[in-house]
Amino acid sequence: MYAQEVKSTGQGIKSLEEMEPDERAFQEKINADIKIEPKEWMPEGYRKTLVRQISQHAHSEIVGQLPEGNWISRAPTLDRKAILLAKVQDEAGHGLYLYCAAETLGVSRDQMTEQLLSGKAKYSSIFNYPTLSWADIGAIGWLVDGAAIMNQVPLQRCSYGPYSRAMIRVCKEESFHQRQGYDIMMKLCAGTIEQKEMAQDALNRWWQPSLMMFGPPDGDSVHSAQSMAWGIKQNTNDELRQKFVDETVPQAEYIGLTAPDPDLIWNDEKKGYDFGELNWDEFYEVLKGNGPCNKERLGARQKAWTDGEWFRDGLMAHAKKREARKMAAE
């Protein structure tokens, strides 16, 4: 089965024969496409991998509100403002489903928040870039949500039930987000020369960071082999990146934009595009906290946490009072 196939690539994945009975029964369930549910036995590594990935994903949705939130008050029309507001609210909702999914694995919301605010937890590299013009809002919807969908559609088949179910709803909403972004780009490209230039400039700046959302190249991906053996990931980082390039380049061409990559060329043999090497040094710098907006993003989340203290205190005081009344009545 799959676990054995991965082992043959020399990435240290146990075969079914090498597993203890509990682990073997668990792996057989995964191989048979049966979902794992919260209270069932699971290897500690599986639980930890899911907590890591789901909490990073949740943090990405929450931090991901900031670059676009920056433009809500500056959207060019009332319609665009209403659409953007709804989209940003959706991202908050995605964060909440995902925190709930992670909580089913025994980690609390407070622990996850603490890890984000202390800088210990990661969130997607893409949200550490600035939104300089209205076209950036189009580029985010089109490229960032487009990449998110490419990554999340296979996650709908993830072996862990709560994550898989959260992804089904999230993907439906991301699809609307992607379309509204592409619609902004289409309008700009059909507008004045300056508007089209603004769209091209946004594509130039967001192209590489969007491709980096899929994670490091397969040779440098620490978790892919085990995550695929466990049915958490269905594809490698490079497979999804390739799919994204193949789908997105024709979309750019359709509206008269050019992907900023001199090495981009259709390869008829592989029925896909060849594309240039990405700037992985930049990617790792962003992951280390040295991207253009890392400090600003974390600072905004820390401020929101501090500013919300009175509200959390109020809720707790109310809950405690209600509990005391209930006890007195018993």
Residues that bind ligand FAQ (CB under 6 A): 52-53, 56-57, 60-61, 64, 91, 122, 124-125, 140, 144-145, 148, 151, 212-216, 221-224, 227, 233, 237, 287
**Three-class SS state of 160:** strand
**In this complex, which beta carbon is closest to ligand FAQ, that of residue 42 or of residue 212?**
212
What number of other Cβ atoms are within 10 A of residue 179's Cβ? Answer: 14
**In this complex, which beta carbon is closest to ligand FAQ, that of residue 178 or of residue 196?**
178
C-beta of 118: minimal distance to ligand FAQ in Å?
Answer: 14
C-beta of 217: minimal distance to ligand FAQ in Å?
Answer: 9
Q: What is the b/e burial string over 34-73, where b = at least 16 CB atoms within 10 angstroms of the residue's CB? A: ebbeeeeebbeebeebbbbbbbbbbbbbbbbbbbbbbbbe
**In this complex, which beta carbon is closest to ligand FAQ, that of residue 52 or of residue 179?**
52
d(CA 198, CA 179): 19
Do 65 and 84 contact (CB within 8 A), yes or no? Answer: no
Token pair of 308 as six digits: 């919300």
In which residue are the tokens 């937890």 written?
121
The DSSP code sequence of 262-284 is TT-EEETTTTEEE-PPP-HHHHH
In which residue are the tokens 């682990």 written?
23
**In this complex, which beta carbon is closest to ligand FAQ, that of residue 42 or of residue 51?**
51
Residue number with the smallest Cβ distance to ligand FAQ: 64
CA 34 to chain centre: 24
**In this complex, which beta carbon is closest to ligand FAQ, that of residue 131 or of residue 196?**
131
C-beta of 226: minimal distance to ligand FAQ in Å?
Answer: 8
C-beta of 2: minimal distance to ligand FAQ in Å?
Answer: 16
d(CA 149, CA 141): 11
Do 139 and 251 contact (CB within 8 A), yes or no? Answer: no
C-beta of 111: minimal distance to ligand FAQ in Å?
Answer: 16
C-beta of 318: minimal distance to ligand FAQ in Å?
Answer: 31
**In this complex, which beta carbon is closest to ligand FAQ, that of residue 27 or of residue 53?**
53
